[in-house]
Structure 1
Amino acid sequence: MLAKHLADTLSGSGIRVNVVAPGYFNTGRVHNRIEALMVDEGLDRDAAIERVANANPLGRIGTADELAELVGFIVSDRARYLNGTTIVIDGGSSRLAT
């Protein structure tokens, strides 16, 4: 909602506003989730990683490079017609929630 409002407000000035909504990526937050599974469910690291990865339709965790490539595109001139939208990059996980 805020991004759409900002996009509407700033579009005349050449400023584009978009939102990136990431799923699980190889970050500290995911590592914390893996650690919690290890402690709470007694899983070893590989089993905990597999559990997190298998919760995704692609069967894996996203990489920082994949996220960076998307953001690089969004801020580039190639995406100059993209404004006021949310781009979900989660390997398809969000479609499972509906």
Structure 2
Amino acid sequence: SVSVKQPLPNLLLSNSLRLAVIGLVKSMADELAPDGIRVNAVCPGWTRTERVEELLQDRAARSGTTPEEEAAKITAAIPLGRMGTPEELARAVAFLASPAASYITGVSLLVDGGMYRGTM
């Protein structure tokens, strides 16, 4: 999740565990590179999945809005103006697993529509 670069509010445990996974990815990349094994992480932003649909419904029920209004609040913070699709996330994974990424290891690739505004 993009939370490895920008922790999300009210997700203390989740934010911490995701950072631990990135540490594992970096360590494994170092350990396995001599054997030609690449290890990378994909960090999705908001992706329109069934789980996100459930979250939008829950948020809407709590705030007295509609799921689409809740989605609009989220997409307002995404420079590309929309949530990603599972297919877009899958293409990022396929790229990292392909020969086109043969010199990439130890990377955490954000697939977030530009949501993370940091420079590193």
TM-score by length of 1: 0.88
Q: Which residue of 2 aligns with 1:45?
A: 67
* RMSD of equivalent CA atoms: 1.4
Give ranges in structure 1 of 5+ residues lacking alignment: none
Match of 1:70 in 2: 92
The CA deviation at 1:37 is 2.0
- What percent of counterpart residues are identical? 39
Contact 1:34 1:52 in 2 (8 A): no
| 65-74 or 27-36: bigger deviation | 27-36
The question of 1:14 aligning with 2:36 is answered: yes
- SS at structure 1 position matched to 2:34: helix
**Is the Cα contact below 8 Å between 1:4 and 1:85 reproduced in 2?**
yes
* Aligned equivalents of 2:105, 2:71: Cα separation in 1: 35
Question: Runs of 5+ in structure 2 lacking a partner?
Answer: 1-22
Q: TM-score of the superposition, structure 2-length normalised?
A: 0.73
| Structure 1 residue 31: Cα displacement | 1.3
Give the aligned length: 96
